[in-house]
Amino acid sequence: MGLFDAIKKAFTGDVVESTNLKPKIEVVTLYPRITADTPFQPKIDKPLVKVERLMPNKLQVKPMVGDLESKVELDVSAVNSAEIMKADVSELNEIEHKEVLPGALASEPIEAGLTDQGDDQDTAVEKSAIQAQEVVTSESNMDEMTQTDETDLDQGLHKTKKSWSQRWNEFMSNFRRVDEDFFDDLEETLIKADVGAETAFKLTDELRNEVKLQNAKSKEAVSKVILQKLIDHYTEQGRDEDASMHFATSGPTVILFVGVNGVGKTTTIGKLAARYKHEGKKVLLAAADTFRAGATQQLQVWGERDGVEVIVGPPKSDPASVVYDGVKAAIAQEADILFVDTAGRLQNNVNLMQELSKMKRIIERELPDQPAEVLLVLDSTTGQNALQQAKLFKDSTDVTGIVLTKLDGTAKGGIVLPIRNELHLPVKWIGLGEQVGDLKPFDANDFAKSLFGPLLEL
Ligand SMILES: Nc1nc2c(ncn2[C@@H]2O[C@H](COP(=O)(O)OP(=O)(O)OP(=O)(O)O)[C@@H](O)[C@H]2O)c(=O)[nH]1
């Protein structure tokens, strides 16, 4: 029985399997989705289901709403945790938001909460190693990597583009006249395209004026005005935005990567290290994710592939000590850049946030103007959830920019807009695949043109 079925059964009460075992840790809570009908519902205090771990390979799914007492047990010994967590979100129609409870991570990594620690973890490391080995860093790839041509962007944004043009065509096919209903529908279309409620309202207001101003009446004219406005909007946002990477004027530049589990921190470091090495810079990596078994090995595989040294510490050692060793090595070796990979941390986990502050203090003590960048890595496939994460991280640490990964695997690329509009954080890099060259500097104009241009025949 899959998790989806299990949750459904938990709700309908068809299967009632209670257990006397006391849950060891609470793992995942799924919250109701914010839908187009409820755009201003940021506070959702009632979770729908709670997934708890009973034993290494047993999960229990409990409904948290209504009067149902039913619970369902689920054997997950053979299932990869990341897959379960993704399935939670994509398979359930009425449920989207998930959050891992702080208590879960304080004692064990998220993955440990959902998988069998032993074999599965080894498998995960092996898988990562294989994936990294598949990454070819030959000279020709390096050359491709430094190009930022639009074909790559177009390919990478394929899913977002397809979904956007479908939504747009559907919306315009209902066009009768420009009236309030039209703008209501436009608002809904924008919200569904993941541009965020706040942004959708703002945009719709601007578009109301723009359509009037340009006296657009026909379907074609209205469509053109709106699409052009969207392109302008993306581009304008970029005008005061500093999406460049900052480097120390002398001595090593330290770049810290933060973000929750599995968003793509290590992969991004691997890609960036290859890029900067190719540009002639001396790069070092520090494996400060001592929390998750396998994280260090994963970074080491990237280090080997990229031909850059990785500073590591013993398992479960203080990540700050790895950072210290990394900074010392960077100074001693006169490295240009030190990339620091941190543990996947929850934005609401106080201990881990303190750990991050400690790392920053150590860096600042050894290199006063560093870290030059604290890059928050967000997984675009999580849509609005990525935005929530960004808000919370921004409140608790000095994030200097965003890396938005996995744009190739999602139709939710519109999330770029609220990240910039509502958080005023520059998106510096976008991940468009798992290969070493699949990381591009974010360019708002190119992005908007790639997304809306085909509809305007640009
Ligand atoms: N399709 C796609 N996959 C990506 C991208 N970036 C990362 N990934 C994949 O996402 C998965 C997780 O990436 P990691 O780099 O291990 O993520 P992490 O944030 O370091 O994870 P933790 O170490 O658990 O905190 C891997 O399978 C990567 O290959 C991307 O831009 N596109």
Which pLDDT belongs to residue 340? 97
Distance 377 CA to ligand 1 centre (A): 10
pLDDT score for 401: 94
- Count other Cβ atoms within 10 Å, centred on residue 372: 18
What is the 406 CA–ligand 1 centroid distance (Å)?
Answer: 8
Domain-located, residue 127: no
Structure tokens belonging to residue 282: 């001396």
Any long-range contacts for 114-120 (C-beta under 8 Å, 24+ apart)?
Answer: 114/27, 114/28, 114/53, 114/59, 114/76, 114/81, 114/84, 114/85, 115/56, 115/76, 115/79, 115/80, 115/81, 116/56, 116/57, 116/77, 117/56, 120/80, 120/81
| Structural domain includes residue 171 | no
Centre of ligand 1 to C-alpha 64, Å, is: 31
Does the annotation flag 267 for ligand binding? no
Average pLDDT rounded to a whole number, residues 355-379: 92
Strand-pair category, 72-75 with 373-379: unpaired
Q: For ligand 1, what atom is nearest to the CA of residue 377? A: 19
Does residue 278 sit in the same domain as residue 189? no
Percent of the chain with pLDDT strictly greater than 90: 26
CATH number for position 202: 1.20.120.140
Q: Which of 95, 116, 137 is the last residue in one of the domains?
A: 116
Identify the residue with better confidence: 122 or 394: 394
Asked if this assembly's ipTM is beyond 0.90, the reply is yes
- Distance of alpha carbon 332 from alpha carbon 82, whole angstroms: 39
Q: How many domains does the chain have?
A: 3
The CA radius of gyration of the chain, in Å to the nearest whole number, is 23
Peptide bond into 371 cis (omega under 30): yes
- Which domain-ending residue is among 116, 134, 164? 116
**For the segment 28-61, what is each residue's pLDDT rounded down to a tens digit?**
444 444 344 433 333 334 445 555 555 544 555 5
Query: Domain check: are 413 and 365 in the same one?
Result: yes
Q: What is the pLDDT of residues 295-330, one digit of tens each?
A: 898 999 999 999 999 999 988 888 999 999 999 999
Lowest mean pLDDT among 15-29, 52-66, 243-257, 275-289: 15-29
Q: Pick the atom of ligand 1 nearest to 433's CA.
A: 32
Top mutation candidate among 127, 157, 256, 267 for ligand 1, by most atoms within 8 Å of CB:
267
Distance CA 409, CA 263 (A): 12
CA contacts within 13 A on the Cβ side of 192: 16
Domain assignment of residue 247, yes or no? no
**In terms of domains, do 331 and 365 share one?**
yes
pLDDT value of residue 446: 85
Is 412 within a domain? Answer: yes
* Last residue of one domain, picked from the residues 239, 271, 286: 239
198 and 344, same domain (yes or no) = no
Same domain, 87 and 22: yes
Look at residue 23 in the predicted model and tell me its pLDDT.
32
User: Is residue 149 included in any domain, yes or no?
Assistant: no
Instruction: With respect to residue 261, please indicate whether it lies within any of the assigned structural domains.
Output: yes
3-state SS class at 418: helix
Smallest CA separation from ligand 1 atom 13, residue = 264
As given in the structure block, the two tokens for residue 309 are 């040294």
Residue 153 in any domain: the answer is: no
Whether 79 has a pLDDT exceeding 80, the answer reads no
Same domain, 294 and 394: yes
Nearest CA to ligand 1 atom 23: 295
My answer on whether 23 and 105 are in the same domain is: yes
Domain coverage including residue 384: 253-456
**Cα-based torsion angle of the residue sequence 277, 323, 327, 337 in order, rounded to the nearest 10 degrees:** 20
Task: Give the alpha-carbon dihedral of 118, 124, 127, 128, to 10 degrees.
Answer: -130
Confidence of residue 423 (pLDDT cuts 50, 70, 90): confident
For residue range 200-229, what is the model confidence (pLDDT) as tens digits?
A: 888 899 888 888 888 888 888 888 888 888
- Check residues 308 and 448 and name the one with the higher pLDDT: 308
Each residue of 344-358: pLDDT tens digit? 766 556 777 788 889
Q: Is 5 helix (H, G, I), strand (E, B) or coil?
A: helix
Residues 191 and 110 in one domain: no
265-278 and 295-306 helices, crossing angle to 10° = 20
Instruction: Band the pLDDT of 26: cuts 50, 70, 90.
Output: very low
Stretch 238-267: mean pLDDT: 89
Q: Are residues 405 and 286 in the same domain?
A: yes
Q: Is the dihedral of CA 341, 355, 378, 82 positive or negative?
A: positive
- Compute, in angstroms, the gap from residue 262 CA to the centroid of ligand 1: 5
If asked whether residues 25 and 71 sit together in one domain, one would say yes
Q: What is the CATH number of the domain that holds 285?
A: 3.40.50.300
Q: What is the pLDDT of residue 428?
A: 94
Same-domain check for residues 112 and 182: no
Mean pLDDT of 407-414: 85
Domain presence at residue 139? no
Q: Which atom of ligand 1 is nearest to the CA of 439?
A: 31
**Based on the domain organization, do 189 and 337 belong to the same domain?**
no
Index of the ligand 1 atom closest to the CA of residue 262: 21
